[in-house]
Amino acid sequence: MKAFGIPPEGKQSKPMQASVLRFYRTFGSMKKICVFLLLGLLTAGLSKLYAQSPDDDLLQFSGVVITNDSLNPVPFASVIIANSGRGTVTDVYGYFSFVAQKGDSVVFSSVGYHKAHYVIPDTLEHNRYSLMQVLVRDTILLQETTIYPWPTREQFRQAFLEMKIPESDVDRAQRNLEVSEMVMRMETMMPSGGETYKVQMQQYQSQLYHAGQAAPIQLLNPVAWSQFIQSWKRGDFQTERRRGGQ
């Protein structure tokens, strides 16, 4: 204690003792104050972190995409967040709705329209935000193109000199739709799957109808004879014979 200039305990004066006690009390109070300050700063930091949690930045972002000239809805337009690639597509009425974050940059795009960008405000207090986005039509001017009925000038020159127009698809279609062509195709065409199934089901239903009893004899049925005579006059049997020969 002599090295620091403090006399021994027995020789210390009362003023000196009071100063030492006052110093220790002041140091203890400052220590408590520092501890309280550290606890306060820690609490404030945690509160700030909790207040800025990612869940509080989420919101339901919805709206309608319309055109600038007629205010009609733009169906199936893409609504994508630029920094994450998430988003959705508008329905037939141009409506969209998905979860986004405050401050996200949203890109609106559709075929035939210019892209539009929108930044969601980061100062919103509610967890819902609606928007009516307008898209401007993208007008593209193409160069003038002249269409000729012949692919090359040589074919045009040859057709002009011969005065014989090459056969077109319309001419072939009209030739295929002639009555004689249709009759020939009808006589030679095989029955389709639907017709075969119909005949088979009719025979099956007839067998079920006459199950457990003798089937009627069509030889004495006047309706069957009438149908036979009409088919004979029409020449149906000759058609069947011609099909069998082919």
Structure token digits, residue 241: 């014979």
Q: Which residue has the tokens 């069998």?
A: 244
More confident position, 194 or 2: 194
More confident residue, 48 or 228: 228
156 found inside a domain: yes
Residue ranges making up the domain that contains 201: 142-212
Please indicate, yes or no, if residue 222 is contained in any of the structural domains. Answer: no
* Inter-residue contact 113 to 74 (CB < 8 Å): yes
The answer as to whether 218 is a domain residue is no
Reported as a single tens digit per residue, the pLDDT across 207-223 is 888 788 877 777 777 88
pLDDT at 3 over 50: no
Q: Please answer whether residues 74 and 89 qualify as being in contact, where contact means their C-beta atoms are separated by less than 8 angstroms.
A: no
pLDDT at 65: 96
CA 56 to chain centre: 29
The pLDDT score that the predictor gives to residue 2 is: 46
Q: Which residues contact 108 (CB under 8 A, 6 or more apart)?
A: 65, 77, 78, 79, 115, 116, 117, 118, 133, 135
CATH number at residue 81: 2.60.40.1120
Digit-coded pLDDT (tens) for 132-144: 999 999 887 778 8
**pLDDT on residue 18:** 61
Residue 1 is predicted with a pLDDT of 46
**Predicted confidence band of residue 4 (pLDDT cuts 50, 70, 90):** very low
Give Dmax over CA atoms of the chain in angstroms: 156
Tally of domains within the chain: 3
Q: Domain boundary at 135, 164, 183, which? A: 135
Shared-domain flag, residues 150 and 198:
yes
Beta bridge partners of 81: 106
pLDDT at 53: 54
Query: Which residues contact residue 68 at a Cβ distance below 8 angstroms, ignoring those fewer than 6 apart?
Result: 134, 135, 136, 137
- Evaluate whether residue 23 is within a structural domain: yes
- Report yes or no: 59 and 102 within 8 Å, Cβ to Cβ: yes
Residue 180 pLDDT grade (very low, low, confident, very high; cuts 50, 70, 90): confident
Is residue 35 scored above 70 in pLDDT? Answer: no
Write down the pTM of the prediction: 0.40
User: What confidence score (pLDDT) does residue 174 get?
Assistant: 83
Those residues whose C-beta lies under 8 Å from the C-beta of residue 76, and which sit 6 or more positions away, are 89, 90, 91, 92, 110
Q: What is the pLDDT of residue 107?
A: 95
Out of 3-12, 20-29, 48-57, 61-70, pick the least confident: 3-12
